[in-house]
Each structure stands twice: as structure tokens, then as C-alpha cells.
Amino acid sequence: MEKRQIGSSDLFVSKMGLGCMSLGTEEKAAKEIVQHALENGINYLDTADLYDFGQNEEIVGNVIREVRDDIILATKVGNRWDDVEDGWRWDPSKSYIKSAVKDSLSRLKVDYIDLYQLHGGTIEDHFEETIEAFEELKSEGLIRHYGISSIRPNVIKRFLKSSSIESVMMQYSLLDRRPEEWMDLMDENKVSIVARGPLAKGLLSEKMLSKASAKMKESGYLEYSYQELQETIESIHSKMGDKRKMNELALQYILSRQSVAAVVPGASSVQQLQENIDAVNASPLSTEALDMLKHLTKLSRYEQHRD
């Protein structure tokens, strides 16, 4: 599978990574999915300390033990649950980050993390100490590089200006084209997008509208009413579905952007994973096809958290 560089780092990742949040807590099934990914050229695994409150990191760590040096391992920090009775709270402090990384390393059973990501963020955070924590972890050899996982423009702009992040993980799909507004700025700063949610909760898979939740049917999806969602998905399928599967259109559209280092869909089965592998290994979309997809979908923008 083709590899792409994350930012200006020495991390070269398969253009499709494996989002580990969907692996579940049954280790045997999770292991089959991860091993299938590795056997098919995927070298980029993305987890987070919050997923299943650490259990996801433990499972990933057990699976990769013998192939650690062959993969790019990413995890996230900032959502703290060790001092609250229920759920979690946001904590981007230096002291917590430097403590949490040791817990992640222990659960993952590794000596270093390739890409350590801040799992959210607000403009009110103390950016200086957060950045200082990541820079110290780099100098200590506990992480190789760092990035953020955020959709907030003001947070992204602050990190682009003040830190040495290599990536921003953003929700990006044909039904959520908001990141396109910021691609030029990110390219100028040599920072890559890692695209999560590229299949829009399954709406852009072959199952299409059958994946729509009750909430979607009532309130729509982002800027789409449910009727607009129906019309858009049906238009894409009717105009282009005879030549390409929906997930192929969705993933190839995202990968057509040079700002994107990787798409990171989740997978809860080997079959689902293989469908996405086939989709990203297909031939790229033509300029005409890309233009058609742009025409059929909305170019939306982030209206909040801009300044």
C-alpha cells in the first residue's frame, strides 16, 4: 500500500490507517482485524487512552508486540478519567500529559509512541504548558512526534503558530468538507491532515441510508437535513455508483487531497476492513469524477470557534 509522509517528519504511513476504536473488547477478534491490516500493508494504527478506558491500548499492545518496529503507532491524551467517578474530564496540563504518557506506554507495552496527539482542546487551554510537555517528551525519547485531534479552527491556528505539530486529525468526508477551508494554511505550515470519519458513520458505505440512526432521521447530519441527506447520497449513487462502490468514492475523494496523509476508518470485522482496503487500493478518481462529487455535496465551513 502506498505510504505518505506525515508533515515534515520521518513518519511514512500507509495511506489508510486502522482506527482502533471500533475493535471492541474481545481480544481474539481484535487481533484478527489488526493482523489482517498488517498483512495488507497497513502500518499505521491509531488508538487513544480514552477508548474503553485504556483497554483498547492494552489490546493493541498485545497484538503488536512482535511487530513493533514495523508499525507507526499513534495514541491520544487529554481526556482524564482517573480522578472522576463517572466519565472523564478535560485535562491538557503538562503534569497530566507527562504522567499519562507513561500509562499509555505501559498499556501498549512499548518504549516510545510514534505520534502522540492531544485529544481535543479549547482556546482557553494553557497552550504553552501543553506544547512544553510534548516537546519535553520528544527530547526524552518517549514520543517521536506530536499532533492534535481537533476540528476547532482557533485551536488549530494556535498550534500551527506556536508548536511543531506534524498532523491534525480532523473529521473529513464527502458529507463533512469543512477541513478544505484550512488546507492551504496547513500546507504552508507543512502539517498533514489525518482524516477520521471518512465514511460518515457508514452513510458512505454500501449500506448507505440503512446506517442512518433515529437521530439522523429526525435531525439530519451536520448541515444536511435528512431529506437532503437522502437526495445527496442517492444522487452520488445514481450518477457514479455504476462504476465505483460508495466507500471507494468516499475514500478516494479524501485521498485526492495532497494535504491528507492518511484516511483512518474504523473496522469491527475483517470483512469491513477488506472492503476499505480494496477501496483505497483502487485507481484514483479522475478530475471529472472529483468535480462531480464536489458539485453533489456541500462545501460547508466551521461557524464556531474561529477566533
Pairing relationship of beta strands 143-149 and 113-118 according to DSSP bridges? parallel
CA distance 187 to 87: 36
Q: Is 51 a catalytic residue?
A: yes
- What are the Cα distances from residue 1, in Å, to 7, 42, 75, 134, 279? 19, 7, 22, 30, 12
Catalytic residue chosen out of the listed positions 51, 116, 146, 172: 51
Q: How far, in Å, CA of 64 to CA of 31, rounded?
A: 9
d(CA 158, CA 153): 9
Cell numbers found for residue 191 = 502539517
CA distance 224 to 174: 12
The cell numbers describing 9, all together, are 517528519
Angle between the 270-281 and 246-255 helix axes, to the nearest 10 degrees?
Answer: 60
Q: Tell me, what amino acid is at 105?
A: L
Burial of 248 (0-12, 13-18, 19+ CB in 10 A): buried
Please classify residue 199 by burial: count the beta carbons closer than 10 Å to its beta carbon, then call 0-12 exposed, 13-18 middle and 19+ buried.
buried
| Active site members | 51
